[in-house]
Amino acid sequence: MSVFGLRRAARALAIAALLYAPSVRAQSLPDRLSDATFWKLMNEFSEPWGVFRSENFVSNETSFQWVIPELVRTVGPGGVYLGVAPDQNFAYIVNVKPSIAFIVDIRHQNAVQHLLYKALIEMSDTRAEFLSMLFARRPLRGVSTDAPVHLLFDALANSPADSAVFRANLSAVKEWLTVHHGFALSDSEKTSLDCVYGAFVTQGPALTYNYASQCRNPFAGYRGAGSGGGMGGRGFGNMPSFLGLMTETDSAGVNRGYLASENNYRALKEMEERNLIVPLTGNFAGDKTLKSAGQWVRERGAAVTTFYVSNVEQYLFMQPGDAAKFYANVSTLPLDSSSTFVRSASMRMFGMTDVSLRQQSGFSAQLLSSVSEILKAFETGTITRYAQVIALSHQ
């Protein structure tokens, strides 16, 4: 099908999706998934593993919380969340409060990283326990459950990584996933798990987007690929650390992250324990993953209300036809009038000079847009470049 044909199909599907939108959101979504169903969805909805230029152990979007107040006003609780990449999704999830979330990434290592998070969160009753396990430290001392997150990291700094704790935790994680949950991890997934956990333990809270492990996804011919730290992750300099990201705030100066409070952490933990955060491996422009997840949601009378796309659209517009395929895929999703894209854009790249945007942390801007409006603009030809997507986005 031509790009123009895809656009026409996208428009027709968008109209059908909006007409279909249920009047009572999430009326038949399950309140938990069995282990067998979780694993089935994770595997059957996924596409062949792909590659990206970096491993994305942590985000490079310092502004990721900025739009949460407006997002919460726009999107009510109980819908379905779609997202991409690692744990910045958790901040959106604990604030928007969806009934279920699907995290889609072209790199299967991202799905493995979410399995690591799942195991560690389920095994940790508090934020302090989670952080000590994530970084293979002895139990944190002298921190209360109501301590602000920066005090947790202060306590963490006084407890160095322990290789014996790392080995014990890694063994416990694998047993939790394969025995407690019964997930049939492959040998390659176990190796990937070793590398992901090793990145957090060797780098500690200073881990950044630029770090590249020994298991980095191959990106043939891409200048800058390498192991260790530095620019192996192929990001720009001065990338935020895990610690820095966890202490960021929204536009009102409030930290809304999943580690900002025990309440937020417990909300995330409950979703993980109910198997309601499902990592999928897929291409946004692929033929299977988004459509499969959308059909599953549609069959249960629900709507996708939040879709965090980061800056993936930027790369899709660089590849002929992929943007059209992506928006056609989005048009197959069950949507409602509140369905919202959350995206990140470089202020340098797009010449953003608005004062309110400049107030955001770092050099990125987090933006929102109506899903249906973006679909309509693409179908009518208003959008032909990624910069035009950004122009139709707002805070």
- For the chain (395 residues), the mean pLDDT of every run of 10, in chain order, is 45 44 58 98 95 87 95 97 98 98 97 98 98 97 94 96 97 98 97 96 96 64 29 56 96 96 98 98 98 98 98 96 98 98 79 52 84 98 96 92
277 — phi, psi (to 5°)? -120, 105
Query: Is the dihedral angle over the CA atoms 289, 301, 71, 9 positive or is it negative?
Result: positive
- pLDDT of amino acid 298: 98
Buried b (16+ CB within 10 A) or exposed e, 310-319: bbbbbbbbee
- pLDDT of amino acid 360: 60
76 — phi, psi (to 5°)? -80, 165
- pLDDT of amino acid 79: 97
- pLDDT of amino acid 52: 79
Integer CA distances (angstroms), 178 to 171, 268, 323, 377, in order: 11, 21, 38, 46
- pLDDT of amino acid 363: 65
Q: Where are the domains of the chain?
A: 3-391
- pLDDT of amino acid 221: 29
CB 304 within 8 Å of CB 294: yes
| Rounded-to-integer distance, Cα 189 and Cα 106, Å | 15
- pLDDT of amino acid 220: 29
